[in-house]
Chains A and B, each alone.
Chain A
Amino acid sequence: MTDTSTKLSADFILNGEPKVVEPTIFDLSSPGRTGVSFPEPDVPRSELPNSMLRDDLPLPELAEVDVVRHYMHLSTFNYSVDSGFYPLGSCTMKYNPKINEDTCRLPGFLFTHPLQPIETVQGNLALMYTLQEWLKEISGFAGMTLQPAAGAHGEFTGVLIMRAYHKSRGDDKRVKMLIPDSAHGTNPASAGMMGLKVVQIPSDERGNVDIEALKAECDDTVLGLMLTNPNTLGLFDENVEEVTRIVHDCGGLVYGDGANLNALLGIVKPGDLGIDVMHFNLHKTFAVPHGGGGPGSGPVGVAAHLADFLPAPLVGILEEGDDELAPLFGFVFPEKSIGRMKAFHGHFGGGLVRAFTYIAMHGPDGLRQVSEYAVLNANYLQARLRDTYKIPFDRICMHEFVAEGRFKDTDVKALDISKRLMDYGFHPPTNYFPLIVHEALMIEPTETENKDTLDAFADTLIKIAEEAKTDPDLLHNAPHTTKFGRMDEVKAARELVLCCWLPEDYEDQ
C-alpha cells in the first residue's frame, strides 16, 4: 500500500531540517505586539529597588488573535474523548458531562480564596462535607480526606497513614510492602517514597493473588498489602476476603488502589471487603476530565481505626443546625494526623465540584448502572474479540480486560496494532501493561459508549488482525492517516531539547 502521508517531507530530505507544522509561541512572536493591556496604576508610583530589578524578560509578544489561532491549531492535533472512542485501560476515559464544566466555573466557586473566613465560604464547605459523606457511603469507609491532588498523591497519603498507624502502636519493625505483580507502577513508587521494602506477590492462573505466595511473605514485618481490585487484568479477585484476612492476621493493613472503582459503584463497598484505606480517582470514576494529564483529584477513605491519622484539616460540622438554621461547617483536625499533603484544601474547583455534580445527578441507582454498563461493555468487547485475540485470563471481566497483541507467524506487536487503530479513528488501548501479559492490549471501553461504537471497534481490531498476517508492514509503519507519524524517541532523549527561546536576532526583526 502506498500512502503519501508517510513520505518524508522535502525539507527534511534536502536540508535535514524538520518541517514545522505549527511554529512555537516563541517563533510566532514579533517585537511590539501585545495580547492584552492593563490599566496604568491609579496610585502614585513608588520608587523601585533598582539593584534588585530584572533587566530582560524575553517572553514572547503576540496579539490576541495570534494566541487564539495558535492554540486552536494545536487543539486540532489532539485526539480526545469528545472526538472519539478512547478505550485506554485503567484510565476510565468516560464522557465528561458538559454541565460539570459550568458548575465548576460558577463565580462563587471560582473567586473564593482558600483562607477566607469560614463564615464567607459555607457553600464550599457544605459541598465538601457532603462529598466526604457521599464518598464514605459509596466506599464503605468511616473517614475521608479530599486533600490529595491525584491518585498517586492519594496512594502516598494512604501509605503514610498505614505507617503512622503502626508507629502509633509502637510497632516499628514493619518495613515490607506487599504488592501483586499486576499493580500499577505508582504503587511500588509510593512505597518507595517511604523507603519501604517492596515485595512482589505473583498472580495465580486465574489472575487472583497467589494465596500461597502471599502467606509465605506474611510475617510481623509486613506493613501492608497494596491491592488493586478489580486488578489490572480487569478481574475481580475471587479470594479477596481471604487475602485481606491473611494480611490482617499478620498485623498488616490492606491498601486499596481505587483506580478501578468504576466497576464497583453500587456493586460492592471496598470497605466491606476488609480494605483499610483506599484512594479514589475522581478524574476516572466520577468524570472529572483528564485535562491532557491533569489535574486529577485523589480523595482517600479509611476504616474507623485509621480515621485519626487522616491529613489535616478535614471539613466538619462545628455547630449543628436545626430546622431554621443551617449547620456551621468548618475545619477539624484529626488527633494523630500525618499532617498536610498539599497547600490549602485539595482540588476543590476542578475536582470536587465536578464530582459532586456527577454524583448528585446519578443518585444510587444511576451509579450502579454506571458500573453495570461499564462491565457489560467490557465483557461485550471481550466476547467479540475472543476468537481473534488471545485472552490470557479468560473469564467474566469487570470494567476492562487484557488481550495479547501478537499472532503466530508474524512479528507484529501490540504497539503496531495500537498505531494502526489510529488510522481507523480510534485511540489505542493501553500497551505493555500489565507487565505479566505478553504484548498486552488493555481495553477499557467505559459505560458511555454505545453498541455501534463497540462493534465498529471490534470489527476494526478483527480486520487489523487480518492485516497483520497479510500485510504486516502496514502495521509496522502505522499510523498513515494521522497528521503526525511515529516519533524518533531516541533522538528526543539523546538531544534533550526541552525548551525553546526567542531567536537570537529577535530585537532586530
Chain B
Amino acid sequence: MTYIPISPKERDAMLETVGVKKLDDLFDSVPAKHRFPTLNLPPAITEMEAAAELGELATANESTKDLISFLGAGMYNHYIPSVVDHILRRGEFYTAYTPYQPEISQGTLQGIFEYQSLMSTLTGMEVSNASHYDGATAAAESINLAWAVFRGKRTKVVISPTVHPQYREVIRTYTQGMDLEMAGDNAEADLETGPEALTELVDENTMLVIVQYPDFFGRIYDYTKLTELAHEKGALVCVVANPTALAMFKTPADMDADIVVGEGQPLGIPMWYGGPSLGFFTTRKKYVHKMAGRLVGETVDSRGQKAYVLTLTAREQHIKRERATSNICTNQGLLALASAVYLSLVGKKGLRQVAESCYHKAHYAAEQLSKLPGMGLCFSEPYFHEFALCVGQPVSEVNEHLLNHGFIGGYDLGKDYPALKDHMLVAVTEMNTKEEIDAFVQVLAEVAHD
C-alpha cells in the first residue's frame, strides 16, 4: 500500500493541467535505457502484515526484557519514565522539520533552549549546542573546535587510551584528512597509571587532550591536575563524560575542562540496538563561535514576546559552505527533547537518586564478585557503575555460560586491550535488583576457580 491520496480521476485532471498524457511522460529527461528499471523487491504488504512481520523480527531477538544484562560499555540500561515517550509521540514535535521558521516552531526552539540549559547545568559548562549524532562524533567534533581555536597552528592531539575504543576509532576516521599527530591512543599503554601520565605527551604543539570521565573502565579520576598542566602548555582539554555520573560527581567544569561532550543516551533514550542516541557538546562561551552544530538563543518577537531562534548560523554549512566549522545539518533534535523531558521529570533529586543507586549496586556486585576464587577487580581507583573484573579465563566462554543461564555478561576487554585478556567490563544500573546481582554472582561462581 502507499500513502498517496490522489484518485485516478484527480490524477488525470492534474496530468492535463501539466500538459502530458501519462505519468511516464514526466520522466523523458531520464536516459531511456535506464528508465523504469525492475526493482527486485518483495511485493507490498499491508499494515496488518507489516505489524506481524516486524513483530516476528523483534521477537527473534532476546532483549534486556528477556535476559538480565550486565553489559554497558557506552550504552546503558536505565529506566525511562512513561512521560518521555508520550511527549515524543506528539506529531507536533516528531513530524516538524528543523526550526528554520521560528514563528511556527517555538515548541521545538524552546525545547532545544531548555535542553541546552539543562546540559550546561549538568556539565557545569557555559554553553551547549543543540546536539551531535552520538558521544563518539561529539568527541571527534571537539578536535574540529580545537583546530579552529588554534587556526591549524597546533597539530597534536593527546588521547587517553581509556577513552571508549569505538570513540577513538571514530576520531581516527574523522581526522584522516587533517594531517594531525595523534598521541596516547595506544591499547598497549600502561592502564594502571593515572591521567598525569598523559602530561608527558602534552607539548607546545598540542591543541587538545581528550580524556573520559568515568573512563572506559568506570574509574573516576580528578582531572584538575591534568587540565592545569595542559593549560600551562596552552592546550585545551576535552572531557568525555557520562551524564548520569555527573549527577553525583564533581563536574568537568570544576576541573577546569574546556569542552565537555558525551553520550546522552542514559537520559531517557532507549538503547535501540545502539541508536539513534544523543551526542551532547558543551564548552566555554568564548569558544561558541568555533563550535559546530545548531544553537538556539533567546530573543523577542515583533509583538514583544519572549521567543527563541537559531542563532550564530553564520558558522554553519548552509551559509559558510566549505569554510563551515562542520558539515553537520540534521542532528538529534527529538532525542535532545527526550533528554530535556527526562531531566525535567527526574529533576535534581531523581537524577542523583539514579546515580547513587547505580553506584551502590555496582559496588555491591563488585564486592560479591571479587570474593569468587580467581576473580577480582582489576583496578583499585574509585569507580562509578562499571568496573573491570578479572575472570581468569576467556570472557567469551564465561559469557556463553552466562547466556545459557539467561544473563548478558559484560564486555570483553581483551578485544581492545591485550593486557586485559580474560577481563570483563561489568555494568550495573538502577535496573538491576539485588536478586539479579546475587543470581549473576552465583552463575559466575559455577565457573570460577583459582
Q: Which residue of B lies closest to A119 (CB)?
A: B403
Chain A contacts of B403 at CB under 8 A? 117, 119-120
Query: Considering only CB atoms, which chain A residue lies closest to B321 in the complex?
Result: A188
Q: Which of B77, B274, B302 contacts A344 (CB 8 A)?
A: B274
Closest beta carbon of chain A to B63's beta carbon, Å: 4
Q: Is B153 an interface residue (CB 8 A)?
A: no
Residues of A within 8 A of B360 (CB): 41, 43-46
**B317 & A185 in contact (Cβ 8 Å cutoff):** yes
Which one of A36, A49, A448, A482 lies within 8 Å of B382 (CB-CB)?
Answer: A49
Contact with A79, one of B96, B326, B352 (Cβ below 8 angstroms): B96
Q: What 0/1 readout, one digit per residue, does chain A (185-217) give for beta carbons within 8 Å of chain B? A: 110111111111010000000000000000000
Q: Which of B45, B87, B97, B364 is close to A88, meaning CB atoms less than 8 Å apart?
A: B97
Give 24 CB contacts A-B under 8 Å.
A24-B117, A29-B347, A35-B81, A36-B81, A46-B360, A53-B249, A78-B105, A79-B104, A88-B97, A127-B57, A152-B327, A155-B327, A189-B317, A195-B178, A240-B31, A267-B36, A273-B31, A292-B96, A293-B108, A344-B134, A346-B274, A361-B44, A376-B6, A500-B113
* A116 partner residues in chain B, CB cutoff 8 A: 62, 69, 71, 408
Which B-chain residue is minimally distant from A241 (CB atoms)?
Answer: B31
Contact of A49 with B334 in the complex, beta carbons under 8 Å: no
Q: A338-B176, A360-B50 are in contact. Are A6 and B302 (CB under 8 A)?
A: yes
A370 to B69, CA, bound (A): 42
Chain B interface bracket (under 10, 10 to 19, 20 to 34, 35 or more): 35 or more
A193 CA to B403 CA in the complex, in Å? Answer: 43
Most-contacted residue by chain B among A24, A126, A238, A345 (CB, 10 A)? A24
Do residues B96 and A350 form an inter-chain contact, with CB atoms below 8 A? no
Other than the known A346-B275, A369-B2, A419-B103, what 12 A-B pairs have Cβ atoms closer than 8 Å? A18-B300, A39-B430, A99-B50, A113-B408, A115-B73, A120-B61, A123-B58, A188-B322, A273-B34, A342-B133, A487-B302, A500-B113
Complex formed: what's the CA distance from A195 to B85 in Å?
41
Closest to B367 in A: A46
User: Do A338 and B43 have beta carbons less than 8 Å apart?
Assistant: no
Stretch of B19-27, B182-190, B191-199, B369-377 on the interface side:
B19-27
A58 to B263 alpha-carbon distance, docked (Å) = 21
Distance (whole angstroms) from the CB of A161 to the closest CB of chain B: 11
User: B327 contacts A269, CB within 8 Å?
Assistant: no
Contact of A152 among B19, B101, B104, B317 (CB under 8 A): B317
A424 CB-CB contact with B under 8 Å: no
Which of A89-97, A299-307, A406-414, A464-472 is the contact stretch? A89-97
Chain A residues within 8 Å of B172, by CB: 339
Task: List the A side residues contacting B308 at CB < 8 Å.
Answer: 492
* Pair A343/B274 contact, Cβ less than 8 Å: yes
Q: B331, A83: Cβ atoms under 8 Å? A: no
Chain B neighbourhood of A49, CB < 8 A: 220, 382
Complex interface: stretch among A133-141, A248-256, A317-325: A133-141
A150 is contacted by which of B15, B43, B329 (Cβ under 8 Å)?
B329
Q: Is A102 a contact of B275 with CB atoms below 8 Å? A: no
Rounded to whole angstroms, the CA-CA distance of A311 and B136 in the bound complex is 15
A-B contacts counted at CB < 8 A amount to 724
Tell me if A81 counts as interface (CB < 8 A to partner B).
Answer: yes
- Given A54-B246, A103-B54, A489-B299, also A77-B23 (CB < 8 A): no
In this assembly, does B346 line the interface, its C-beta being within 8 Å of a C-beta of chain A? yes
**A418 part of interface (Cβ distance < 8 Å):** yes
B41 and A364 contact, CB distance less than 8 A: yes
The minimal Cβ–Cβ distance linking A288 to chain B, given in whole angstroms, is 10
Chain A 64-106 interface 0/1 with B at a Cβ cutoff of 8 Å (1 = within): 1001101110111111111100101001011111010111011
Contacts of A126 in B (CB 8 A): 57, 60
Instruction: Judge whether A189 and B4 touch: CB under 8 Å.
Output: no
Q: Is the CB of A120 within 8 A of B62?
A: yes
- Check: A165 CB closer than 8 A to any chain B CB: no
B111 contacts A by Cβ under 8 Å: yes
Q: Are A71 and B274 in touch, CB under 8 angstroms?
A: no
**Chain A residues whose C-beta falls within 8 Å of the C-beta of B127 in the assembled complex:** 498-499
**Max chain A C-beta neighbours (<10 A), residue from B247, B321, B327, B331:** B327
B291-318 vs A, CB cutoff 8 Å, 1 = contact: the mask equals 0001111111111111111011000111
A11 to B303, CA, bound (A): 10
B11 at the interface (CB under 8 A from A): yes
Indicate if A332 sits at the interface (CB-CB under 8 A).
no
Given A105-B85, A236-B29, A295-B335: A9 and B327 interface contact (C-beta under 8 Å): no
> CB-CB contacts of B314-352 with A at 8 A, as 1s and 0s?
001111111110111111111101001101111111111
Residues of A within 8 A of B442 (CB): none
Chain A residues, CB < 8 A from B340:
25
Residues of A within 8 A of B275 (CB): 114, 149, 295, 342-351
* Chain A CB within 8 A of B86 CB: yes
Partner pick for A151 among B108, B330, B411, CB 8 A cutoff: B330
Interchain CB contact under 8 A, B11 and A292: no
CB-CB < 8 A to A503: which residues of B?
none
Of the stretches B154-162, B203-211, B226-234, B265-273, the one at the interface is: B265-273
- Report chain A residues within 8 Å CB of B311: 489, 492-493, 496, 498
Q: Report yes or no: B114 in contact with A295, Cβ–Cβ below 8 A.
A: no
Contact partners of A43 in chain B: CB under 8 A: 360-361, 364, 434, 437
**A42 lies within 8 A of chain B by Cβ:** yes
CA distance A425 to B203 in the complex (A): 59
Given contacts A21-B305, A364-B39, contact A498 B288 (CB under 8 A): yes
User: Is residue B414 within 8 Å, beta carbon to beta carbon, of the partner chain?
Assistant: no
With A60-B347, A294-B331, A483-B106 in contact, do A96 and B71 touch (Cβ < 8 Å)? no
Which of B61, B79, B167, B309 is within 8 Å of A108, CB to CB?
A: B61
Cα A339 to Cα B168 in complex, Å, equals 10
- Contact with A189, one of B61, B167, B324 (Cβ below 8 angstroms): B324
Cα separation A63 to B54 with both chains bound (whole Å): 36
When the two chains form their complex, are residues B41 and A120 in contact, meaning their CB atoms are under 8 A apart?
Answer: no
- Chain B contacts with A in 129-158, Cβ cutoff 8 A: 130-131, 133-137, 144
In the bound assembly, the distance between CA atoms of A101 and B433 in angstroms comes to 31
B399 CB–A CB distance under 8 Å: yes
Check: B380 CB closer than 8 A to any chain A CB: no
Known contacts A342-B170, A343-B166; A396/B273 CB under 8 A: no
Complex interface: chain A residues within 8 A of B13 (CB): 451
Question: Which residue on A lies nearest to B22, using beta carbons?
Answer: A372
Indicate which residue in B173, B333, B354, B359 contacts A295 across the interface (CB closer than 8 Å): B333
Complex: A77 Cα to B92 Cα, angstroms: 8
Considering the complex, give the chain B residue whose CB is closest to the CB of A106. Answer: B58
Min distance, Cβ B288 to any Cβ of chain A, angstroms: 7
- In the complex, whether B116 has a CB less than 8 A from a CB of chain A is yes
In the complex, the answer to whether B303 meets A487 with C-beta atoms within 8 Å is no
> When the two chains form their complex, are residues B37 and A269 in contact, meaning their CB atoms are under 8 A apart?
yes
Q: Which residues of A contact B18 (CB under 8 A)?
A: 376, 379-380, 382-383, 396
Q: How far is the CA of A297 from the CA of B272 in the complex (A)?
A: 14
User: Are B334 and A294 closer than 8 Å at their CB atoms?
Assistant: yes
CA distance A238 to B399 in the complex (A): 58
Given contacts A9-B305, A485-B301, whether A41 and B357 have CB atoms under 8 Å apart is yes
A130 CB, min distance to chain B CBs, angstroms = 9
Determine the distance from Cα of A419 to Cα of B211 in the docked complex, in whole angstroms.
47
Contact of B2 among A26, A72, A86, A370 (CB under 8 A): A370
Q: How far is the CA of A449 from the CA of B14 in the complex (A)?
A: 13
Whether the pair B99, A268 counts as a contact (CB closer than 8 A) is no
Q: Which residues on the B side are within 8 Å of A71 (C-beta)?
A: 87, 90, 111, 337, 341
